[in-house]
Amino acid sequence: MSLVEPPAVLVEDLLRAALAEDLGRAGDVTTDAIIPADHGSSGAIVARQPGRIAGLGPSTRVFGLLSADVEVDLAVADGDDVEGAAALATVAGPTRALLVGERTCLNLLGRLCGIATATADMVRRIEGTGARIVDTRKTTPGLRALEKYAVRCGGGANHRFGLDDAVLIKDNHIAAVGSVGDAIKRVHHHVGHLVSVEVEVDDLNQLAEALAAGVDAVLCDNMPLDMLRGAVAMARGRCLVEASGGITPDTVRAVAETGVDLISAGWLTHSVRQLDVAFDLTT
């Protein structure tokens, strides 16, 4: 039950904008010219590769925005793994609505499944360690809530959603005030009691300073594995330890085995290969 979609209002605004972008001023001139208004069809949304599904509900909602007469039946649920050639959903209704909505649906679905699949792969690679895979703010402009939802569908967890829902003190912040400790102190005077504080540290001295000042988590950026193990030992029981920096499927296991709590990977969202999904009209 943990796979809750982003607010429908937000999803529909995105779909409407995507449709407007595709329809332009004159709409689908090809379909208008060829397909009669009363022509009906049904079709299947299929995955042509194995992968983890994400965004099936949100992306197929586009058909309902085009016609109240479209019926969508989902064959799998977000978070499910499918084999190649799997039917994900059937869509039936006016052919025009189906053809107009197809590309918008697939562009969104392919991307979200791609993110979920990449996340699920990383999650599998660190199985048995205590670490969790988390995302970053390196998301596509306009799609953050959906892409972070896809990470959850892949078994990952979400880092903060934006600049306002948690504090993350980075090197530039520290440079501006002189020390990790001072930066944390300023933050504690500033934020509400429900705002968590994380700080980026480059070495164990900074980590010590952060632990002394008190934080919820430390982000160890680009640390060598040895140093990471040292950080885990120092921080144990005092705050969460997050590793980040150039994480890929090849490197993630070694990082996880250092004992860190969290591993964040911008790679999940900024360089996603879409899952190959298609829409096949069956009648």
For the chain, first and last CA: distance in Å?
A: 35
Span 4-33, contacts to a copy of itself by CB under 8 A? 4, 6-10, 14-33
> Is position 261 an interface residue for a copy of itself (rule: CB under 8 A)?
yes
DSSP E strands in 65-110: the ranges are 71-74, 81-82, 86-94
Span 31-70, contacts to a copy of itself by CB under 8 A? 31-37, 39, 41, 65-66
Catalytic: which of 22, 171, 182, 221?
Answer: 221
> Is position 145 an interface residue for a copy of itself (rule: CB under 8 A)?
yes
152 is catalytic: no
Count other Cβ atoms within 10 Å, centred on residue 256. Answer: 24
Given 92, 148, 220, 247, the residue binding a copy of itself (CB under 8 A): 148
Q: Tell the smallest beta-carbon distance from residue 15 to a copy of itself (Å).
A: 8
Q: Which two tokens stand for residue 225?
A: 């594995």
Question: What binding mask, one character per residue, do residues 73-92 give for a copy of itself by CB under 8 A, x or -?
Answer: --------------------
Give the alpha-carbon dihedral of 259, 224, 270, 198, to 10 degrees.
Answer: 60
Span 191-220, contacts to a copy of itself by CB under 8 A? 191-196, 198, 216-217
Nearest 5°: CA angle at 125, between 122 and 129? 110
> From the CA atom positions of the chain, what is the Rg in Å?
22
- Residues annotated as catalytic are 103, 138, 170, 200, 221
